[in-house]
């Protein structure tokens, strides 16, 4: 139900929303998973099948081009896990499981040790990997224009594997999740599953492994700066299409926000929040499936703790 709300918020995001939905598509669409990515050195934008997306800009280091690891998830559907204790990244793509670590050329492919041409690095909180990783390990074709240094990547988007156990969390081991470009982060507890993210990174959706709730983060850029509390609350109220049960402005000394409670078409309860930083408004919505859970103080406190962890900052440690 929340997708209709985002369409009301920003019509120009319709294409991104279409890419994110879990609606059924035709067999012909499923069979065509070819992906072409074009990028340039020192350019904070890439082109994925003709669609421009914001990325951490590629650069040359250790004699090779470094690209953001997040581009491989957004464009090619690679899945990631992060072991915060050992600071090890595990990436799965088309039957291969690749383990690597920032600052080390040592890596493992399906359990077999190998040496990368360059070690992964962390820049602006983003993990950057050598371009050679794509053809050396992932089987993605890489071509570089000798004159312009423009890079073209051609491969296939990994098909989503149906879950046999809904309690599995493909991002287990991470404790935080966020975006360095848009400047936010929040807690990432075990059992919270990232379902989808737009190419631009301005929309991301999560669900609880037990399907008790869903969480959405949506960023709208180009908004008037320094909206008053009432102004931000009006924006939030205008963005919802559901009956509003209550609303108000929380003048938190560190991070004020507008807040409203609405009731969904299915009888669930939504807590919707809006934060502002500069010209960006961050809409955060928690959909609680069962109203009784919202009314239960013990359960609601856990939901509130998750919502309260949303922060308009980005940690120095890498978020993959």
Look at residue 227 and tell me whether its pLDDT is greater than 50: yes
Residue that has been written with the tokens 């869903």 in this structure = 214
CATH of the domain at 216: 3.40.1000.10
Please give the mean pLDDT across all residues of the chain.
Answer: 81
**What is the layout of strands, in order, in the sheet containing 121-123?**
59-61, 64-68, 126-130, 121-123
315, 268, 259: which is closest to 293 by C-alpha?
268
pLDDT tens-digit map of 25-52: 333 343 467 899 999 999 989 999 988 8
The reply to whether 200 and 300 lie within a common domain is yes
CATH of the domain at 42: 3.30.457.10
Which of 148-162, 245-259, 265-279 is predicted with the least confidence, judged by mean pLDDT? 148-162
pLDDT band at 91 (very low <50, low <70, confident <90, very high): confident
The reply to whether 199 and 127 lie within a common domain is no
The reply to whether 115 and 180 lie within a common domain is no
The reply to whether 261 and 200 lie within a common domain is yes
The reply to whether 211 and 126 lie within a common domain is no
DSSP state of 267: S
In Å, how far from its chain's centre is CA 187?
13
Average pLDDT rounded to a whole number, residues 210-230: 92
Rg over CA atoms, the chain: 20
The Cα 165–Cα 79 span in angstroms is 17
Average pLDDT rounded to a whole number, residues 248-275: 94
- pLDDT value of position 166: 29
Instruction: Examine residue 9 and state whether it is found in any structural domain, yes or no.
Output: no
- pLDDT value of position 267: 87
Q: Give the total number of structural domains in the chain.
A: 2
Domain enclosing residue 56, as ranges: 35-156
3-state SS string for the chain: CHHHHHHHHCHHHHHHHHHHCCCCCCHHHHHCCEEEEEECCCCCEEEECCEEEECCCCEEECCEEEEEHHHHHHHHCCEEEEECCCCEEEEEECCEEEEECCCCCEEEECCEEEECCCCCEEECCEEEEECHHHHHHHCCEEEECCCCCCEEEEEECCCCCCCCCCCCCCCCCCCEEEECCCCEEEECCCCEEEEEECCCCCEEEEEECCCCEEEEEEEECCCCCCCCHHHHHHHHHHHCCCCEEEEEEECCCCCCEEEEEEECCCCCEEEEEEEEECCEEEEEEEEECCHHHHHCHHHHHHHHHHHHCCECCCCCCCCC
């Amino acid at each position: 139900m929340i997708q209709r709300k985002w369409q009301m918020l920003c019509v120009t995001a319709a294409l991104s929303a279409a890419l994110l939905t879990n609606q059924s598509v035709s067999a012909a669409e499923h069979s065509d998973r070819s992906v072409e990515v074009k990028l340039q050195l020192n350019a904070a934008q890439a082109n994925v099948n003709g669609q421009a997306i914001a990325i951490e800009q590629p650069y040359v280091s250790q004699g090779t081009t470094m690209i953001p690891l997040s581009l491989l998830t957004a464009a090619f559907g690679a899945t990631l896990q992060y072991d915060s204790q050992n600071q090890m990244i595990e990436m799965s793509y088309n039957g291969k499981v690749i383990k690597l670590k920032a600052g080390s050329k040592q890596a493992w492919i399906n359990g077999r040790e190998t040496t990368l041409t360059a070690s992964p690095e962390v820049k602006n909180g983003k993990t950057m990997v050598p371009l050679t990783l794509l053809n050396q390990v992932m089987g993605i074709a890489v071509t570089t224009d000798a004159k312009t240094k423009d890079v073209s990547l051609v491969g296939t988007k990994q098909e989503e594997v149906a879950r046999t156990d809904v309690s599995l969390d493909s991002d287990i081991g991470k404790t935080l999740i966020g975006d360095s470009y848009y400047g936010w982060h929040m807690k990432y507890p075990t059992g919270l599953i990232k379902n989808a993210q737009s190419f631009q990174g301005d929309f991301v959706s999560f669900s609880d492994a037990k399907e008790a709730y869903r969480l959405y983060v949506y960023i709208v850029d180009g908004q008037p700066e320094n909206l008053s509390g009432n102004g931000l609350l009006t924006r939030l109220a205008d963005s919802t299409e559901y009956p509003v049960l209550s609303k108000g402005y929380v003048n938190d000394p560190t991070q004020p926000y507008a807040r409203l409670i609405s009731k969904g078409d299915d009888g669930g309860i939504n807590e919707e929040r809006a934060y502002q930083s500069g010209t960006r408004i961050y809409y955060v919505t928690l959909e609680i499936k069962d109203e009784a859970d919202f009314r239960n103080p013990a359960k609601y406190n856990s939901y509130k703790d998750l919502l309260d962890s949303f922060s308009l900052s980005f940690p120095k440690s890498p978020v993959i």
